[in-house]
Amino acid sequence: MKKLFKILGIFLLAVVVLLLVAPFLFKDQIATIIKNKLNGALDAQVEFAEVDLSLFRAFPDARLSLNEISVINKEPFLGDTLFYGKEVILDLPIGDLFNEPTDPIHVNELIINNAVSRLKVNENSKASWDIAKAADTKVTAPEVDQESSSGFSFDLNHYEMNNADLSYEDLGTKNILHLKNFSHSGNGDFSMENVTLDTYTTMQVYYEMAGVTYLSGQQINLDAEILLDLANQKYTLKENEVLINDLKLNLDGFVQLLEDGTMVDVSLKTPSSDFKNFFAVIPETYRKNLDGITTTGDFKINALVKGMVNDTYIPKLDVSISSNNASFKYPDLPLSVTRINIDTQIKNTTGLAKDTFVKIGDVAFNIGQDRLKANALIRNLTTNMLVDLQLAGTLNLGNLTKAFPLPDDMDLDGTLVADAQTKFDVKSVEQERYENINAKGNASLTEFTYSSADLKKPLYIERADLDMNNTRIKLQHFKAKTGNTDFAANGTISNLMGFMFQDQDLKGSFKVNSNQIDTSDFMTDAVVTTSNENATATTTTVEEAIKIPSFLNADMAFTASKVLYDNLTLTNVNGLALVRDETLTLNNTSTEIFGGNIGLNGSVSTKNATPVFNMNLDMNDLDIAQSFEGFEMFQKLVPIIQALKGKINTNINLKGDLNNDLTPLISSLAGDAVAQLLTREIDKSKAPLIAKLDNELNFIDLDDLKISDLATQLNFKDGAVQITPFDFNVEDIKITASGSHTLTHDMSYKLDLNVPAKYLGKEGASVLSQLQNDEIDKLSVPVPVKLSGSFMKPKVDLNLDLAIKNLTNQIVEIQKTRLKEKGKETLNDAVDDIIVGKNPLDKIKNVLSGNKKPKENASTNPADSTAAIKPKDTTAVGKVKEKAEDKVKEAAGNILNGLFKKKK
């Protein structure tokens, strides 16, 4: 017996070890089998990241987890993701793990977590989910052999899908259905022909048809028992309750799959007729807490959906939403909403989608003594929708806040009076064929006040009047104010219907006038909260960027007496503004500022996260001091300008990024400028660079610097300013300037001075006195000056060596030319005179004057002179020449050093 138990123990241990080891031994093999089965059955590409197999978690079944599984469409939806699941869990018999690859896999439980599915029907009515291979679709229901068709047999007892995001789009009918946060679970025995499936579903539903939104995130919960007749593919709803927000609806009927389509016979109704049902369909933000609200009257929804669904037909519809003489009052608000009538029908009597229509008859209500009513008829919902709409009545918006709880950050006041009607078809609106739009009537808004978190300052509209006719809507009067900003406007709106019903841009042409515009009034505050583990949360407030309205497509001719922009004050502003696609384009815009005027042409765009601009500025007669103080751009780009007094003309082409207040981000600037100075004065105390130059250049008095009409060109790129070489004169000294500086004011500049000989001082005069006047007039010394450091702490480097060499060469060349022209003694004799003399400068003078003194004890016989020169002396003469030139160079150096080093 002990031996038997021992053998049994060993066997059980072996089984446990096998169960532990099997997942590792067979995991890759099973992953290959599953992938092959799916790809073999589907005309799509199936992939998954990894497979996890456990023989214990769902014992006696095996649990197979497929992570990050995806199904990617082929043509005609190539590359589209039909399905993606973060995790798909299958519970299946352990024995199926050891089947042949051709044998089916039986699935007992299915769980899908965090799935995304995108279902699409293209213009040719081809469905993206129609991916079963043709060979697998030949078996007709109810004789479908699931095992042969897909390699899987679903004998489910439980299934669930958690936190899914599902969407359906039909490009032909323009239907879009989006289910967010979709969770669905069901329990039942699918191995039986008749199954009672117990299900629970929650989701947020978004539905749009032909560009019109009908559901926008309504929360729907469905608790339903569904009787599944699998043999006849008929699914009957039993004891079902649907909640749309808090509105309860009973749902009964069935859906049956037939060979020629799907038969639907479903009815829906409210279990009670209390008017509180109405509030359940209102978004949570606007209905607040319904506790304590008192109501009278009724609110009913009854719907019948019955008929065949196939490529030709939809079910016939009969939906009614009604209320008669109802009222409600919130406990904490002073006014009631009374005499509420709702009479709305959605019908289709033919089963053809194009014949569906919506009739809204006399929807009306009173707040206080004011009554507002509307009615509409909407036909051809799926083709070219026809709209017939009427609105009439008066509404005191201030009373609205006394009867209905608006969001805490919203405040309304004013009076709306309307009496208007319109008829149009959607295609005419889309194609802007305004002659087909019939509109007439008028509407006015007076003493309107609106405040919310979206506005920094409340908006006050003193009056706005609309006059409508068939071809246009005229804005006759519009006068408004927000903060320090006031504006008045008139003009025409060309597509109000497209703006209201088709989500089109608001198009128009307007004239706008203002006494003052303060751009800070249009900045909004955003609260940013930061926290960490060791500190309490802190809250800071920052200003969000000014945004150009995305819905506005308009031309505006504008004038403004004053515009406050950052720290600037612009006066007499006028021009033409074009607004398109969150971009403002300015044409022929001008303003007076800094004692002059500026012309602007260009654009500003707030479409992306960082606003950008591209602008041409034509600046004329600007006061330099005011411009420097007011324009950060001048302070960064041309800091030297602060030392100048007078006026400036400049044309600047710039592009770059903008800060939140739409001021330029200096480091991003790129472009060029042409500047002309209209000044004759310099304040050296405001420019250390000019003071430093004045100290180093002894022969120039910058106190008398005259630079009127000076013009130059600048280029801005990569955070630096490049100056195109330009010339100017200080008295009769010509100066060429070139170089660049960074926006941190580190500079690298070069000044090439051409100094006339007459500025060479006493030392120069003693030499130059021996030259002819025309020779002196031609003689000048190039002096290179390098500027580095910063504008506030400049470094000046004079290249005297180059200047000395240049002066030396000029003097020598002049004497060579003179001796050659006059046929006097050879240069060798002149050099001898220099060597014999005791005073080098005197001998230089002799050379420069062309005079020659006889050498002491020298023979007067020309023959002696000739005999004294031997071939070996040729080298000596060359050395003498070099020495003579050195003496000249030394003399020139003394001149220039005295010129540049001597204190004033």
| DSSP string of 92-149, one letter each residue | EEGGGGGS-TTS-EEEEEEEEEEEEEEEEE-TT--BTT--B-GGGS-SPTTS--HHHH
The closest alpha carbon to 567, from 520, 622, 534, 510, belongs to: 520
Q: What is the C-alpha separation between 595 and 569, in angstroms, rounded? A: 11
Torsion angle defined by CA atoms of residues 403, 409, 413 and 417, in that order, rounded to the nearest 10 degrees: -80
Instruction: Count CB atoms within 10 A of the CB of residue 546.
Output: 18
> Which residue carries 């497209």 as its tokens?
498
> Which residue carries 């319904």 as its tokens?
290
| Omega of the bond leading into 76 within 30 degrees of 0 (cis) | yes
| Omega of the bond leading into 142 within 30 degrees of 0 (cis) | yes
> Which residue carries 């009409």 as its tokens?
709
Residue 714 identity: L
The pLDDT assigned to 175 comes to 83
Phi, psi of 362 (to 5 degrees): 50, 55
The pLDDT assigned to 338 comes to 93
The pLDDT assigned to 638 comes to 74
Q: What is the C-alpha separation between 825 and 830, in angstroms, rounded? A: 7
The closest alpha carbon to 248, from 270, 223, 232, 268, belongs to: 270
Q: What is the C-alpha separation between 646 and 623, in angstroms, rounded? A: 6
Q: What is the C-alpha separation between 306 and 293, in angstroms, rounded? A: 37
Q: What is the C-alpha separation between 800 and 760, in angstroms, rounded? A: 13
Torsion angle defined by CA atoms of residues 36, 39, 41 and 43, in that order, rounded to the nearest 10 degrees: -170
Under 8 Å between Cβ of 739 and 750: yes
CA distances from 294 to 28, 272, 286, 365 (A): 66, 16, 17, 16
Number of H helices, E strands in the chain: 17, 41
Q: What is the C-alpha separation between 427 and 829, in angstroms, rounded? A: 106
Please give the structure tokens belonging to residue 326: 């109802």
| CA 139 from centre of chain | 54
Q: What is the C-alpha separation between 628 and 618, in angstroms, rounded? A: 16
The closest alpha carbon to 602, from 689, 671, 697, belongs to: 671
Pairing of strands 357-367, 670-682: unpaired
On the 0-12 / 13-18 / 19+ scale of CB atoms within 10 A, 539 is exposed
Please give the structure tokens belonging to residue 842: 């005197």
Q: What is the C-alpha separation between 636 and 626, in angstroms, rounded? A: 15
- Per DSSP, helices labelled H in 534-608 are none
Q: What is the C-alpha separation between 105 and 112, in angstroms, rounded? A: 18
Name residues of the chain where pLDDT drops below 50.
Answer: 2-22, 24-25, 136-150, 526-531, 533-542, 824-827, 831-877, 880, 902-904
Under 8 Å between Cβ of 475 and 490: yes
Under 8 Å between Cβ of 374 and 354: no
Q: Count CA atoms within 13 Å of residue 863 on its CB side.
A: 0
- Per DSSP, helices labelled H in 206-289 are 276-280, 284-287
* Residue 128 backbone zone (phi > 0: left; psi -120 to 50: alpha; other: beta): alpha
Helix or strand run (H / E) with residue 8? helix 2-41
Phi, psi of 31 (to 5 degrees): -60, -40
Helix or strand run (H / E) with residue 739? strand 733-742
pTM of the model: 0.55
Residues constituting the chain? 904
